[in-house]
Amino acid sequence: MASMKILNIYLHMISVGAIIIALGLFVDNAIVVAEDMERRLSLGESPDQAAAHAGSTMFVPLLVSSLAIILAFMPLAISSTETGEYLRSLGIVMAIALLLSLVIGVTLIPLLCK
């Protein structure tokens, strides 16, 4: 929400829809990291090792999936048409939320899971 204010993106149906979609993807990234950590714990790794390995091994897959989704929404963010101006907030909010989700998913989530 703070980044939306900085970028002069106001709350309306499109930006709220983008936030809802981004929250679903945010939870998905966290679940992927938590499940990898749970698998590592069941294999006998210590909580510290499992957290470190889960964050580092899941970084590239989460980065690629996040970038693919961001690239799918980028035409909306850079369009110069009237429709693009209306939908621009969707692409920008998705990009910001997914990048934050990636950072939190590989750093904070493993720490919270151990």
Residue 10 has pLDDT above 70, yes or no: no
Percent helix, strand and coil across the chain, each to the nearest 5: 85, 0, 15
- Look up residue 57 and give its two tokens: 């091994």
- Look up residue 103 and give its two tokens: 């950072």
Model confidence over 67-91: pLDDT tens digits? 999 999 888 888 888 877 778 888 8
Query: Within 13 A of 72's CA, how many CA atoms are on the CB side?
Result: 8
Q: Note the pLDDT of residue 51.
A: 92
- Look up residue 44 and give its two tokens: 């006998």
Model confidence over 59-73: pLDDT tens digits? 999 999 999 999 998
Q: Note the pLDDT of residue 73.
A: 87
Distance CA 25, CA 109 (A): 14
Contacts of 42 (CB under 8 A, 6+ apart): none
